[in-house]
Amino acid sequence: MTLQYRAWIDSFPDPEQKLQSVQSKIPPRNRLTTVDEIATTTVFLLSDKSGHTTGQHIYVDGGYVHLDRSLT
């Protein structure tokens, strides 16, 4: 978990309950994205393997951003 996300979670009266609530809505594995997953996506985007990738929004969040949009 990133420091920014931890700070946001810790701002709630019951941080652990809020964390469980958020994680339960993340589709693939009910967990937050790891720093390593963000790093490997960054390495991919900087590599020649992403040479034909242009103008994309890439969300490294296990689908949470799309779920969040559907709930609001």
pLDDT at 67: 67
User: Lowest-pLDDT range, 16-20, 31-35, 39-43?
Assistant: 31-35
Mean pLDDT of the chain: 86
CA dist 23 and 20 (Å) reads 5
Q: Are 61 and 28 in contact (CB under 8 A)?
A: no
Enter the pTM of the model. 0.64
Secondary structure of the chain in HEC code, one letter for each residue = CCHHHHHHHHCCCCHHHHHHHHHCCCCCCCCCCCHHHHHHHHHHHHCHHHCCCCCCCCCCCCCHHHHHHHHC
At 45, the pLDDT band (50, 70, 90 cuts) reads: very high
